[in-house]
Structure formats: C-alpha cells, structure tokens
Structure 1
Amino acid sequence: MVDNILYSIIAAALVGVVAIVPTVSCAKPPCSTSSTPVCLNLQNCTNVDAWGLQVEVGTRGQARQKICLVPSTVINATYTLGSEICNNDNSLNKTCQASHGGTFDRTLLAGFTSRSTSVNGGVEGFWDDLNGPVETFGDVEFAVAGFTQLKNYEIGVVTNGTKFNLGQLGLGPKSSFLQALKDQGFIDRLMFGFDAGSQSPYNPRPGHIVLGGYDQSRVAGNFAEFDINYEDTEFRPCPFRVEIQKIDVLFEKTMKTTAFIDLESRNPYACIEPYDNLFRFPSGRLASLESIGLGQGRVDSDWLPNLQVNEPGWRYKAGNPGAFSLDIVLNGLDEDFKIVIPNEELAHPLRGIDNNGTWAVDRNYTELNIFQESAVRNTIVLGKAFLSQVYLAVDYEAGKFYLAASSPSTAGCNPAPFGCSNEHDKKANSITVAGYVGLAFGIASFLILGVLLGLGIWFWKSGRLDRYRRRGVNITERVPDFGTYTQQNTKDMRVLARQASLRPCSNESPDRQTFGSAIGLRRTMS
C-alpha cells in the first residue's frame, strides 16, 4: 500500500511537470534570418483599377518602360500586356492603357530578342485555356521601385486574349520571379507576405508585398496554418485552397444573420486569389445571395455605364442594397480562421475609367464587390475584397500558408523574416496568454505535489504509517442474516484471521465459520 501511494504521488508530480510546458495556440511561420526581407508597395499604379506593383522593364542602354503588374497565383511566369492589346481602337487607347495599367512595347527596345517559347519550360494551362498560349518571350532587366534589378529575367508578352485586366506577376508554387530572387541572392527561401491594402473609397490604404518575410506592422492576432494545394482544383490553379466552414450574411439594419454557405453545402471550398478584386461565386451561389435579400434593386447586368469597368460587380440604384457584412470561418489545420468583412469593403459608388482614361465615379449607382458573372470553373474565389481584412503569409518550401487578421495601420512597412520578429512574436506568434496560464498552473501544481511527496516520505520514514496500520481503522458492514450494520476494527479483523488460520477445520461451511467467529468475537468484545 505504501508503494502504491508513493507511485501515485510520483505520477502526479510528473503530470505537474508536463503542465509546466506552456501551450502555443497559434501557428507560426518558420524563421529565416540569412537575408533581409524586401518590402514593396501595392497601390494604384495608374489612376484606377490598376492596383499592383509598378515595375520598370528595359534592356541595357535603353530607356525603361513603366508598367503595372498584379501579384497572381494563377500563373508562375511574369506576363506583361503587349501594346497590341490597345492598338485595335486608337480612339479609346487612353482608356485601354489606363485600365490595363500600361502596356509593354517591345519594338522600342533594341536589345529585346523575341522567342516563341519560354526557356523556363513552364506550361500555363489555365491561362492558355482562357486566352490562348503566349507566343512571345524575351529577357529583360526587371526592376521594382526601391529594389535592385533582376538581370536576364524572362517575361512573356501577351498579344491576344481578353480574359485579363492587367499584366500578372506570377507568384504560384513554381514562380519564376521568386526563383530568380533566390538564385540572385535576394532571398533565401521561396516565401512572401501579402497585405492587399484597401481600395475602399471610405478608408483607402496602400498595401505591401514582402519578399523573404512578412510585414509585422500589418498583422493583428494569431496566424492560422493551412497546407498549400499543389493540384489544380476544378481545372484551375489554386495553391491557397481553403475549406469554408461557414459564410453568414449579417444585415446591419435588422441585425438578422442568414446562413449563406456551410460545411453541408456542396463543394464548400474556395481559392484565395490576390489577382481578383472581387468575391466570385458560381451561379447557384449567386442565386442564393439574391434570394436572401441582395437581389432587390439590382440593375440588369446587361446595362453598361459610360465607364470602363474592368471587373464589374453587382450594380444597384443608389440606396440599395441595405448595409451588410460577411462573417467568414475557414477550417485551419490546428485552429479555425475567423474574419468579418465589413460593408465598407463590400459596397461603394460605381467607379471606372472614362473615355479620357481618367478615374470617374457615378454616385447614382452602387456597386458590390461581388462579380456579376458566374465564377470561372465554378470555383469560389476570395479576392482582394476578402484580403483587405486578411494578411497572407506563404512559405512554398515548407508547403504552408498562413492567414491572420490584418491591421488597419497605415504606418510604413516593417518587414521581418518569418518567425523572427521580436515585436510580433510578443504579440501573436510566441507563447500566448494561455501558455503563461499553463506555466503558472504547472509551477503551482509542481510545488504542491512536491510538498505532498515530502510529507509522504516523512510519514513513511518516521514509522507513523506502520503505527497507523497497527492501530487499525473502523469500518462498517452489513450483516445479511439480520439486516443490521456492525462496526469492526481492521486490527480486530486481522487478529481474527490469524486465529482462524490456527484452528482445526470443522464441519461448518466456510461462510458459517467466518460469520460465527465474527459473532463470537463481538460477544467477547461486548
């Protein structure tokens, strides 16, 4: 019995020691310290929807051309839009140039040598299916403001197709841009952090992309961890594929919440895509949105304003629809990711580019950040309207991406390697409050159990435990034949057992012997 007590105390002490180890309740991107992250601004490169990176493309000894590229995971290559895209209608050339973020005229670069295929060997099947293959490639000096140029960098020049808005800076899992940065020593891992900023007219803010790390000033809260998807989903690239636990629509006037998408829905998956501005849903989902209250007051989709709108959303007469927000929960690996997209990121006055190529607003109409057509390949897409509230961190070499609530701060970029930021580690990515509570509880438990263990050893060594056993304790048991209860002492029972072992056997049954002996003992005691 003594040994069992000691073993139990020791086991409890070990549990207390384990409790000392604090728990970490958030995912944390791995640490990389061998290179300094590079922060680049995301903003309007021209004067309206060209929200991306302004880059300079040229060849040695030639003037560089400035164009706007949007980060995209749809492709891995870097595609610029050729001047041929806007040469079909000179009367609207300014509108075309503005809506596409500028075009690249390769005929102005004497050192640009065209070839018909990519030396990188990548096949952009999704792009090719929508627009046809790109057939013009060449090497350039590729520079971004505030960033040392990449030499002999291959770009593709798009000369045909219509299923695009701007040129694309491919950031897919096999990104030629990220690989070139690594090969030329600017980063040591294929990783980046992305803050889309906000294009809301009510509270606009620029965004940032950090190469080789993330912007710690734009992260509020903990990261949720997800696996990168390397397979095409529904015949389209979707590296940042997420499972939707729910999307609810909250109407602010009535404070009524209506379920839109949940886990019981068919195919509750979505692609997070920084290239797209809007939320994109299949036709069935759009019908659901109409039925729960967003169909009232809509303008016919065939109606076109006197503006060039690259990515048209649902349009309404001013005053419709009522203000609402989206409550979104995504299933992460260790914990769910929850975010609310407010109304200011979902609705705004209609805006676009006029015939002079300038930014214009028509306040007689309201536009939602919900694409008016069915999503390509019936795949839900969470674009920059979603990312306006979400920080995205990606580490392709670890096969992980991370989501966190984004901070509304408009402070300058504060880049840090993943997992190595002192400031953000204190706030979100190191031991959390729950961990410190566990630490305090574990230490207290260990001290208490240590005292109990010491008392147990003292009790045993001092002989008090043996005296306790010799003295015995009183126990109460029921006498079946009489239906009464009697109280006995364990010391007396041990004496009885020893006496019984010394007596010769009788003809009584063992039960009768024991019961009779007990009655005799009680009579003797009385």
Structure 2
Amino acid sequence: MRTAIVSIALPFLAAARSQCDTPPLTLTWTNTTVTQDGLGVARGIELSIGTPRQIFAFRPITALNNTRINNVLNCGSAANNSCVGELGGTFDPSKSESYAVSMKSQWNGTMAEEEDGKKAYVYLNDEVGFQGGGSVEGFPLVMSGGGGAQSGLSLGTNSSFLRAAVAGGVAPSEVFGLWSGSRGVDHPRDGQLFVGGYDRARVGPTASFSTFPVAQWSLERACPLQVTITDLRYAGLPLLPNGTNKLIACIEPAIHRLVFPPEIAEKFANYTSHNPTAHPGRLEYDVTKRPTDVLTITLSNGYSTGISNEELFAPLRTHDENGRYAIINDRVVEAFVADTRGVDPADVDTMLGGLFLTFNYLIVDYAKGEFKLASAVSAAAEDVDPDPTVVCTPSNTPSTSPWPPTSPKSSTSGGGGSKNGGMIVGAVVGSVAAVALLGSAGFLLFRRRGRVKEMLLRETYARPHMDVAKQPLEMMANEVHELPTSRQSSFRKLEGWMRQ
C-alpha cells in the first residue's frame, strides 16, 4: 500500500515544487523596530539574521552584489539606539549559534565587489529569515566594520541575495519588482519588493511598461539601471546645463534623494528662491516660503514622470536619539534634491533615488539584460488588492561553478555549532491534497533536504559576472551604457549620499 501511495505522490510533489510554481517572495519596505528595547526604528525591508534572530531593516541597493550588514561594535554597543536605528540594525556575532566565518576565497558569495580599503570586512554565512516565515541557512553576508551606511540588500547584476532566494526555494526567479512607497509626511506608504515577479496591482491600470537595457557593470561604476535624461524641469523651467541635451543617471533605490550635478543644483536653488544665508549647505526653506511647483523628468525614449510638490518638499527630518526618522523642525522644509553646490562635478553621480520610484514601478530582469518602468499606483495598501504575478523561465542549465565547491571553513562564537549550505526552512508550497500524501512519503522529503542544501552552495558559489554587453543591437540603439570614469568608486560616493 505504501508503494502505491508513493508512486502517486512523486509526480504531485515534483509539480508542486517546480521552480515556476513557487509564488514571488514578497517583502514589505516599511518602518521596522531594530533595537533591543523596541525604541529604535528604521525604514527598510525587514529580515532576520542568526539564531536566535537579530532584526534588520535593509535598503535595497543595485550597486552591491553582496548583502552588507554592520557590526554592533560600529555603534559601541547595541544600546546606542540612534546609531543602531540609523544603520538599520547591527549584528552581534557572539549571539548567533548559526554564525560561520569564511575565508573570502572559499566563501559562497559574489567575489567581484567594491571594498573600502579603510574598513574591515568579515565574510560569513548565517541563517536569514524572511517575512512570512521561510528562512535559508548558509546565506552569504558581508559584515562591515568601521562605520558605514544602512544595511544594504544586494540587488546588483550578480546578486548573491537573488541567487540564494531562488536556490533556497523561496522565489521562482531572480527577476524582481520594486516600488519604494512614500516617505511623505501627510500620506506615507509602505513600499514592496517582489522577488520572482511583481505586483500587477501597483502598476497603473492604463500604464504600459517602457523597456531599457541594463548597463555594463563595473567596479568603478556599479550602475546597472542606467537611463538618459533628455529633459529636466522645475516649474516648467529647464534645469539641464546650457548646451546640454542629455544627462546619464542611475536609478538607485538605496538613496531617497535625487542627486544632480552642481550646475543643476544651482539652477534648482535659484528657481526655488533658496536663501543661502539663512540655510547654508542644504536646500532648506522657511515654511512660509515653501516652493510650490513640481519637478518633471523625461527620459530618452520619451518616458516622462512628475515628482509632486508634496513628495519633493517636506518638513525637516533626521534620525532622533532613538534612531527614528522624525521631524526636528516643522518651521523649515527641505527639498529632496541633494545640495551638490560646491562639490567637484567629477565626484557627483547623477542618481534617481527612491523618490523617483515613488511614482514609478520597476521590474528588473538581468538574465534578459533589461529593466522596465511604468507609472505606479501609489494608493495606501488597504486600498490595493495585491496581485502577485510570477515572472519565471524554468532553467535546467547546470551550474558552471566547480562542483563540489569547497565548503567554507567556519568558526562560531559562543560555542554554537556552525551551519553552512542553504537548506530551506519553512512551509512547503502545495495543496491540501499534497499535504495528505506527505505523511506516507515523508522519507522522500528527508532525502530532498540534503539535496536542497547542496543546491544552494552550488548556485551561490562564485558565479561569474553576467556579460550584459551581449544584448540585441536594437535594445542598445541610442542608449549610453557606460558612465564616464571617475576618481572615486561610485559606491563610496553612494554611501555619502545615503547619509543625507
């Protein structure tokens, strides 16, 4: 009798757990408590790390291929709420039983990554928990020492996070859909990240997607989501420098502001009647003299979007003593345009940050070498019925990584046992009928767990960079794919803008 039941269960299990039957991994971008006393809050995508769990609020970042966290020692102690909140949580290795250190050469993350020579980095693996209950063991992480920006969830062209999510069975593909939500004071909105698809309900009902080619990735210019701005206006007045008809920009959700070259920042200040004597160093204004117009951005293929006045200007906010992003002066408003006046133009990368993605829904498919933009639905979550839509092409291509990979040599703190690999822990997607059959076929799942653990190591082990330059010529026409070289790496500059 058992043999008959197992023969029925096998095809059912194969279908239920096939790659593209997995629903998209849904992660909310919202205010998250990240301090032990419950007072420190950061806005980001909530994930847990370690055993027992330590909570983080991650900013999604396309300039990174490895997920980065900050050491608790960066803040002196976990009791430093302001610091911990601003960094989106900090990690204490001594409190995780599943923490495992690796030599960089034997680590299963992405090897090609920009590093700051002034900082110390620890390459590690640990259990990562996702919203909704699933988790993956042996997840590759980089821990930074010596200060830094908020924890970054890697969404680069060779993202170890995206690979691990697929290999661990929590997402059907590495395609992701992103909407940043709103940080407006009057109508804040939670954002969302879908891995393996997108939320069709967040795309305007009459909107159509515009497609752009992914740009060439390099350590010097980690800017995969590159666009060409052909028109930029505030209150209908042109902001592009005289004699210039295009400006190369990076779409980067890790920062919120819009970052433009000094000449554009100067024009914006003039158009908004900024008073440099009363408000030096930043584009701030007395609330009684708040600018009243909107900013419009037009891209090379005619795609245009408007940044509303409500989102472009807001009461002055910063991180308070508990790490909360709070209003500190309601008599002053700030513009979410970085004040780059006085900065060397060579040190400024033009960026369309999270503010741009408040008004635009983003879908990225690195495997196809393209990303898409469409007008976003910005209504509150309770007014939108989510419509998760899978974007997935089944892949039977064997990994090009060496197999078996060299397992990371690990050590743990506090006497806990080390854990490597990538066994998926959590609910198995399936129907009620499948659950009824699992009781008689339990021994099959025991064997499968071992294979899943091996699979994550195989899939995340040092995969070579995708050559996005090999794209159809029609996709590359009239687009610039490489930003000019700079004296500094783009990520180091990005860290500076992330603090603004």
Q: Which runs of 5+ in 2 are unaligned?
A: 1-18, 34-38, 394-500
The 5-angstrom pairing of residues 257-406 of structure 1 reads: 257-261=236-240, 264-265=243-244, 268-296=247-275, 299-301=278-280, 314-332=283-301, 336-361=302-327, 362-373=329-340, 374=343, 377-406=347-376
Give the letter for the 2:225 counterpart: F
Q: TM-score, normalized by length of structure 2?
A: 0.67
Distance 1:223-1:356 versus aligned 2 partners, 3 A rule: closer
Distance 1:356-1:172 versus aligned 2 partners, 3 A rule: closer
How far has the Cα of 1:136 moved from its partner? 0.6
Give the letter for the 1:366 counterpart: V
**Equivalent position of 2:30 in the other structure:** 43
Structure 1: distance between partners of 2:346 and 2:188: 28
Partner SS state of residue 371, structure 1 = coil
Is 1:413 matched with 2:398? no
Partner SS state of residue 41, structure 1 = strand
How far has the Cα of 1:301 moved from its partner? 4.0
Deviations 1:110-139 (A, max 9, x none): 4423235244352322xx24x645521211
| Structure index of larger Rg | 1
Structure 2: distance between partners of 1:167 and 1:173: 18
Return the structure number with greater relative CO, CA threshold 8 A, min gap 6: 2
Contact 2:157 2:217 (8 Å CA) reproduced: no
Distance 1:188-1:318 versus aligned 2 partners, 3 A rule: same
Structure 2: distance between partners of 1:326 and 1:296: 20
How far has the Cα of 1:50 moved from its partner? 2.7
Q: Which runs of 5+ in 1 are unaligned?
A: 1-31, 251-256, 303-312, 421-526
Structure 2: distance between partners of 1:300 and 1:212: 45
The 5-angstrom pairing of residues 49-448 of structure 1 reads: 50-58=42-50, 62-87=51-76, 93-117=80-104, 118-125=107-114, 128-129=115-116, 132=118, 134-162=120-148, 164=149, 166-220=150-204, 221-232=207-218, 235-250=220-235, 257-261=236-240, 264-265=243-244, 268-296=247-275, 299-301=278-280, 314-332=283-301, 336-361=302-327, 362-373=329-340, 374=343, 377-410=347-380, 411-418=384-391
Deviations 1:444-472 (A, max 9, x none): xxxxxxxxxxxxxxxxxxxxxxxxxxxxx
Deviations 1:385-442 (A, max 9, x none): 111101000111111100001002222532112499xxxxxxxxxxxxxxxxxxxxxx
Partner SS state of residue 185, structure 1 = coil
Q: TM-score, normalized by length of structure 1?
A: 0.63
Contact 2:225 2:371 (8 Å CA) reproduced: yes
Structure 1: distance between partners of 2:20 and 2:98: 38
Deviations 1:331-366 (A, max 9, x none): 23xxx2111110011111111232344453220211
Partner SS state of residue 101, structure 2 = coil
How far has the Cα of 1:48 moved from its partner? 8.2
Q: How many residues align?
A: 359
Deviations 1:66-97 (A, max 9, x none): 11111101100011111011008x9x822111
* Higher helix fraction (1 or 2): 1
Structure 1: distance between partners of 2:278 and 2:249: 27
How far has the Cα of 1:229 moved from its partner? 0.7
Distance 1:193-1:147 versus aligned 2 partners, 3 A rule: farther
Give identity over the alignment, percent. Answer: 26
More deviation in 395-404 or 34-43?
A: 34-43
Partner SS state of residue 45, structure 1 = strand
Partner SS state of residue 336, structure 2 = strand
Give the letter for the 1:207 counterpart: G
Superposed CA RMSD:
2.6
Contact 2:298 2:304 (8 Å CA) reproduced: yes
Distance 1:168-1:356 versus aligned 2 partners, 3 A rule: closer
